[in-house]
Amino acid sequence: MTIKLTQDIVLFRGMILIPIFDSKWDISKSLNIALPIPEIFSGKKDQLYFVQDSNTGNTLAFLGLGDQANFSIVKTVFRRLAAKHRELFGMDLLLLAPKALLPYFYEAAVSGLLLGTYQLGHFKDGGNLKPHPLLQNTLYLAESDKSFLIQAQKGEKLALAQLEAMKMVDLPPNKATPAFLSQWASDCGMKFGIEVEVLGRKAAEKEGLAAFIAVGKGSDREPQFIIMKYRPKTKKGKPRHIGLVGKGVTFDTGGLNIKTAGMVHMKCDMGGAAAVLGAMQLIADLKFPHSVTAIIPCVENAIDSHAFLPSEVINSYSGKTIEIIDTDAEGRLILADGLSYLIDKFKPETILDFATLTGSSVSTFGYTCGALFTNNEPLSKTLQESGMEIGEKVWPLPLWDDYSPDIESDIADVKNYSGKPLAGAITAAKFLEFFTEKHESWAHMDIAGVAFGDSEFAKTKHATGFGVHLIAKFVENL
């Protein structure tokens, strides 16, 4: 899709996208057309009305944004338009903007339109599905100010990164393997100027990443410990150094504590890795002035004669020993080594980790928001505000020391699971905290309920791309 500015809106021919906010935006003077009568279209949220202009032949698409429009609402409205009315997009588009929403409108609308081109049928018709017709056409913005073009292009880059993350999660586990993710990271690094290093099994063993190695022992797919370093060429203001860690379990059988339900969806257990990988692409594409180092430990938790056992005691990069109570509490093991390695080798000022970690977080928040854990109140506030701004919500749960006894072990320094069917998300976060060396600016996001699920855009559960924008918005707001 090509994006351009234009002032020749009277001469435009194609489809005109006319979002109506608060039922008060009068476009009749600019286009010499009248709004539909309120009985047909009033601008209420989710209303959609099409009509053909008999004078010009243009297709007019009126989109209702309601009276409480925000970034998330605008994005969803335009995604719905592109996803559910594909047949109308075989022509150029002209996008008009409600003046009250200009600070973010074009970014949200363009990202929504491009997200609406996503197709789950990656392996239908020999993998040769016809691309969405929108991608072949030009989108004109009815503006003369180049700042709006920059805003729209930012929305395009956002969507492209989210689409990559969504595809990673939606691909089947025989395709989206640890090797696939490491190759994706290497290709991304080449394209966007990110330094990438990948540690395979032998290199990881040499580095002492014992907990990471233990999880992948039952699979013949080689684990991949991905290290990505984005360093800005130009530094504005006060550059910061942010560390990211993303859980990359490409498929989770549960190990010898095998899952008894829901295993068919466990290709999504690398949703945290996808969020971090997509965010790294976006951060580099937008050329943010801050340094970002990402660790993405990728493994498959499978079962064979080499699989790690319940009651084993394993080592970790930190030197701390771990008693294995449950092999299905594996994500926190690879995150523990990822956090320890990041802190030891790179010493970032702030650390964020993202993981589809516990069903407990889903029981608490459902599919509305992710669970946020941090003892740093300013960091918590910034993450909450960033999420609310873009519709990727996170909400805090406590990290009180009252929960520390649940991960105390008699035989090792710590155990990986409390063994209790309660406070699962909190005790998992306490386990991770044990490996942060009391870092003063660390936050853990459990995104099990928001990285993969049901929506109006597919018949089956699918990826959401959650976390990509949240990470980028957090870094942007520094």
The CATH number of whichever domain residue 233 belongs to comes to 3.40.630.10
My answer on whether 138 and 284 are in the same domain is no
At residue 28, does pLDDT exceed 60?
A: no
**Residue 137 and residue 84 share a domain:** yes
pLDDT band at 8 (very low <50, low <70, confident <90, very high): confident
pLDDT at 32 > cutoff 80? no
Q: Can you tell me the mean pLDDT for 358-387?
A: 97
> pLDDT at position 71, please?
97
- Shared-domain flag, residues 95 and 209: no
The reply to whether 154 and 181 lie within a common domain is: no
In a domain, 135, yes or no: yes
Q: How does residue 7 score in pLDDT terms, banded at 50, 70 and 90?
A: confident
465: confidence class by pLDDT, cuts 50, 70, 90: very high
**Closest by CA position to 428, among listed 369, 360, 352:** 360
29 pLDDT band, cuts 50/70/90, is: very low
Interior/surface letters 173-191, b for 16+ CB within 10 angstroms, e for the rest: beebbbbbbbebbbebbee
Report residue 422: phi and psi, to 5°.
-155, 155
Q: Is 312:324 a contact under the CB 8 Å cutoff?
A: yes
Task: Please compute the mean of the pLDDT values over residues 358-384 and round it to a whole number.
Answer: 97
Looking at 125, 158, 191, the residue that finishes a domain is: 158
Active site residue 332: yes
Position 427 in a domain: yes
Task: Please check whether residues 399 and 373 belong to one and the same domain.
Answer: yes
Structural domains in the chain (count): 2
Q: Of 226-240, 272-286, 353-367, which gets the smallest average pLDDT?
A: 226-240
Q: Which of 217, 221, 267, 332 is catalytic?
A: 332
124 and 226 fall within a common domain: no
Q: What does the pLDDT read at residue 19?
A: 93
290 and 439, same domain (yes or no): yes
Average pLDDT, integer, range 197-224:
98
pLDDT at 469 over 80: yes
With pLDDT > 90 as the criterion, what percentage of the chain qualifies? 89
**Of the candidates 163, 228, 168, the residue with the CA atom closest to the CA atom of residue 194:** 228
> At 275, which helix (H) or strand (E)?
helix 271-285
**Alpha carbons 467 and 473: distance in angstroms, whole number:** 10
Residue with tokens 């338009």: 81
Q: Using the 3D structure, point to which of 101, 124, 158 is the last residue of a domain.
A: 158
3-class SS of residue 285? helix
Mean pLDDT over all residues of the chain?
Answer: 95
Beta strand extents in 185-312 (DSSP E only): 195-199, 224-230, 241-246, 248-252, 291-301
If we measure between CA atoms, which residue out of 17, 5, 20 comes closest to residue 143? 5
State pLDDT tens for residues 66-107.
Answer: 988 999 999 999 999 999 999 999 999 999 999 889 999 999
Cβ 452 vs Cβ 268: under 8 Å: yes
Which pLDDT score is estimated for 406? 98
DSSP 331-378: HHHHHHHHHHHHHHHH--SEEEEEE---HHHHHHHTTS-EEEE-S-HH
Burial level of 413, CB count in 10 A (0-12/13-18/19+)? middle
| 444 within some domain | yes
Considering the domain architecture, whether residues 224 and 95 belong to the same structural domain is answered as no
**Do 93 and 238 fall within a single domain?**
no
Per the domain annotation, does 164 fall within a domain? no
Burial class of 160 by CB neighbour count within 10 A (0 to 12, 13 to 18, 19+): middle
Per-residue pLDDT at 392: 98
Are 376 and 288 found together in one domain? yes
Catalytic entry in 259, 320, 345, 461: 259
DSSP 471: H
Same domain, 212 and 96: no
CATH number reported for the structural domain that contains residue 142 in this entry:
3.40.220.10
262: which strand partners?
none
Asked if 328 and 240 sit in the same domain, the reply is: yes
Report pTM.
0.97
278 closest CA partner among 289, 270, 290, 267? 270
Q: How far apart are CA 356 and CA 280, in angstroms?
A: 18
Q: What is the rounded average pLDDT of the residues 45-54?
A: 92
Report whether pLDDT(166) > 60: yes
Average pLDDT over residues 169-181: 98
214 in a domain, yes or no?
yes
321 is a domain residue? yes
Query: What residues have CB less than 8 Å from 39, skipping those under 6 apart?
Result: none
Where in the sequence is the domain holding 135, given as residue range(s)?
2-158
Nearest-angstrom CA–CA distance, 475 and 52: 44
Last residue in a domain, options 104, 123, 158: 158
| Residue 46 is assigned to a structural domain of this protein | yes
In a domain, 134, yes or no: yes
